[in-house]
Amino acid sequence: MDNIVRVEKEFDIIIEPGFKKAKFDCPVCKLALAGLEDVESVENYGACCDCAQFFYWPNKDRWKSGWRPKKEQVHEKLNNYYVVKEK
């Protein structure tokens, strides 16, 4: 079967049909997802809970047509280290 990954002789990992890896980072603010709520938020809106609150909901129509906040806007709202890291 192609859904069994043999890692070691002692055990097999069975990957359920339809399994897909989840992202670890928010595509908008690039910060690590903090929990299940963030994972679900990325699946539903393409952004973590904070980004959905600050950027998705107020710009829902623009968001659906592909708009995303600029790095500076994200930094302004979330005050993370994104800009510092980018320098």
Between 18 and 38, CB nearer to Zn ion: 38
Task: Please select the residue that binds Zn ion; options are 33, 45, 48, 63, rule is CB under 5 A.
Answer: 48
Between 14 and 22, CB nearer to Zn ion: 22
| Helix/strand/coil for 27 | coil
- Total residues at the site for Zn ion (CB under 5 A)? 5
Note whether 49 binds Zn ion by CB under 5 A. no
- DSSP label at 5? E
> Which residues make beta-bridge pairs with 25?
32
DSSP H helical segments within 1-87, as ranges?
36-45, 49-51, 60-64, 71-78, 82-86
CB of 21 to Zn ion, least distance (A): 18
Which range, of 2-10, 13-21, 23-31, 58-66, touches Zn ion by CB under 5 A?
23-31
